[in-house]
Amino acid sequence: MKITDKIKFSLRLKFILVVGGLVLFIGSLFFFIGFSSLHRSVLSLTIKKNYALVKSFASSVENLINLHNELELDDQSSLIGKEEGVIAAYVLDSNNMYVTHSDFNKLGKQRPVYKVLKKQDSKRPFSEVVDENGRKIWLFSFPVFNIMTACVELSPHVVRKVLTSFLFKFSIIFSLVLIVSLMLAFLTANELVKPVKQLTEGVKIVSSGNFDYKLSFKRTDEIGVLADSFNRMTVAIKENQELKLQQERIKNELEIASQIQQKLLPSVSPIKIENYKIEHIYSPAKTIGGDYYDFFITENDYLDFVLCDVSGKGIPAAIVMSMLKTIFDTLSGRKNITPAETLCVANILLRKNIKSQVFATALYGRVDIKNNNITFAMAGSEKILLIDRSNNAITMIKSQGFPLGLMEDSLFRNEIKEENISIKQGMSFCAYTDGLTDVCNSEGVFFGEEGIENFFKTVNNSDVLKKLMNVTVEFRGSAKQEDDISVILITRE
């Protein structure tokens, strides 16, 4: 049912009959009391408008430069300079030289030094300065490619002009209406004050936390509709409060789950074994992630390690990650079971306990500390990097085999291969999940295998993985991390 269907005798009609005198009389008081508030409102609108103007100006300049259309830069600045209140619009280079200016005579010249009265900050998107002619101006600026600055100079008098014009027109109209409304205000005052007081009292009760309070107006006009809306609002507020509490509980549970998951991974300190340095790092994309890795020191000078990446993110991936830890905790450290066989058994156990749509890429390896070689098998994991610092050579070993949980045992066994490589002194073995190659910046460019290879060609042996994370963060810039990142680095010292 439409609101108008409920209204039998509208307040609009009542105000037409009595001209709403009391409301306009109170409005006359607010006219004087609210002058400063109105000034702030006009000021805020003017600032927002011109800040949007300089941002649009900067964006247009970037587009024209990208299109190699520098000829239209002057037309663009000239167009901005014609906006109301704008003194000048221009772009400065890093040497404070005018790249373009709404005044063509200033092109190629250096902008004079302005005296800054108030600097731009997060609350004031403009600087208040005094130019070379002693005029006080507002300077709106916005970066262009981080090497240039688009600027719009605005006269503060434009706010006063708009405000004065508005108040003058409003005063004339209001004065005429007020004279008529004062004669009829008393007739409607009693009709309006009583329900307004009840509404005000209802607001106080609800604001105290009693969301079950309801207004009971037996009216068919706008006040009755307002009371009905108020009652529905209190129900919505109560539901939102309950939803907020539920979200807080979920957030707390996720934080606890994240803490538990962090404890499932090895401690952040490097693992030290004779003649080897074992480094590892983990960076989840969300509160909880789906990457898993671990190390298992066994007897007879062996070190087993595993690296997995579960498909998907969030809680489902974290549950599968926990299952994988249980599986590999059970299977690891057994010399009579090869890395390839370990992955085959893990595939059987994972398929038995999860749906077919869920899978996990995996790498399982064994370091023979005594003979200095690594035996490993790959189940759909990312490429392995062998870094030989004696000649600065990097070799990539391509993944073979299906991910865990996708294929039946026979098909999985047919595809998986086991490899053995010798680790010379100074050589490093690096394994990572696809979150590292999939790091993407705001322009859609991926870090990729090339980024990883270039990094290891230039970095030294101290804090390698911390430096790698710093490089990916710098490469990503303002873009979000979309996937978990895990890296294992085994170096023979």
pLDDT one-digit tens code per residue, 371-419: 999 999 999 888 899 998 878 888 998 878 899 988 899 999 999 999 9
> Which of 76-85, 213-222, 235-244, 277-286 shows the lowest mean pLDDT across its residues?
213-222
Q: What's the pTM value of the predicted model, to 2 decimals?
A: 0.52
> Measured between alpha carbons, how far is 269 from 281 in angstroms, rounded to an integer?
9
CA distances from 373 to 120, 271, 295, 331, 422 (A): 61, 18, 16, 21, 4
> Measured between alpha carbons, how far is 239 from 245 in angstroms, rounded to an integer?
10
pLDDT at 316: 79
pLDDT at 288: 72
User: How many C-beta atoms lie closer than 10 Å to residue 376's C-beta?
Assistant: 27
Q: Cα-Cα-Cα-Cα dihedral of 27, 31, 33, 39, to 10°?
A: 140
Instruction: List CB contacts of 188: < 8 A, sequence separation 6 or more.
Output: 14, 15, 18, 20, 21, 22
Mean pLDDT in the chain? Answer: 81
Of the candidates 372, 487, 364, 363, the one whose C-alpha atom is nearest the C-alpha of residue 426 is 372
pLDDT at 164: 76
Of the candidates 262, 319, 259, 251, the one whose C-alpha atom is nearest the C-alpha of residue 486 is 262
pLDDT at 180: 66
Res 197 pLDDT > 60: yes
Confidence of residue 11 (pLDDT cuts 50, 70, 90): very low
Token pair, residue 194, equals 């009583």
Res 1 pLDDT > 50: no
CA distances from 431 to 143, 147, 428, 482 (A): 40, 38, 10, 19
Indicate the helix (H) or strand (E) that contains 158: helix 157-207
The residue assigned the tokens 């810039």 is: 477
Tell me the average pLDDT across 275-280. 89
> Measured between alpha carbons, how far is 420 from 409 in angstroms, rounded to an integer?
23
The upper half-sphere exposure of residue 350, i.e. CA atoms within 13 Å in the direction of its Cβ, equals: 34
Confidence of residue 166 (pLDDT cuts 50, 70, 90): low
> Measured between alpha carbons, how far is 376 from 373 in angstroms, rounded to an integer?
10
Instruction: List CB contacts of 73: < 8 A, sequence separation 6 or more.
Output: 61, 64, 65, 91, 99, 100
Confidence of residue 471 (pLDDT cuts 50, 70, 90): very high
Res 177 pLDDT > 60: yes
pLDDT at 378: 93
The upper half-sphere exposure of residue 413, i.e. CA atoms within 13 Å in the direction of its Cβ, equals: 9
Q: Which CATH architecture has domain 268-492?
A: 4-Layer Sandwich (3.60)
Res 445 pLDDT > 80: yes
Which of the two residues, 354 and 206, has the higher pLDDT score? Answer: 354
pLDDT at 493: 83
pLDDT at 403: 92
Res 192 pLDDT > 90: no
Token pair, residue 378, equals 């790959």
- By CB neighbour count within 10 A (0-12 exposed, 13-18 middle, 19+ buried), where does 256 fall? exposed
**The amino acid at 266:** P
pLDDT at 374: 94
Tell me the average pLDDT across 169-183. 69
Token pair, residue 280, equals 């590892």
| Of 123-132, 219-228, 327-336, 455-464, highest mean pLDDT | 123-132
> By the 8 A CB rule, do 364 and 342 touch?
yes
Tell me the average pLDDT across 244-267. 67
Phi, psi of 256 (to 5 degrees): -65, -40
DSSP character at residue 119 = -
pLDDT one-digit tens code per residue, 96-151: 999 999 888 888 899 998 999 898 887 788 999 998 888 899 999 999 998 899 99
pLDDT one-digit tens code per residue, 333-369: 677 789 999 999 999 999 888 876 788 999 999 999 8
> Measured between alpha carbons, how far is 260 from 238 in angstroms, rounded to an integer?
33
Res 315 pLDDT > 60: yes
CATH number assigned to the domain covering 35-155: 3.30.450.20
pLDDT at 332: 79
pLDDT at 436: 92
Res 4 pLDDT > 50: no
Domain ranges of the chain: 3-33+161-234, 35-155, 268-492
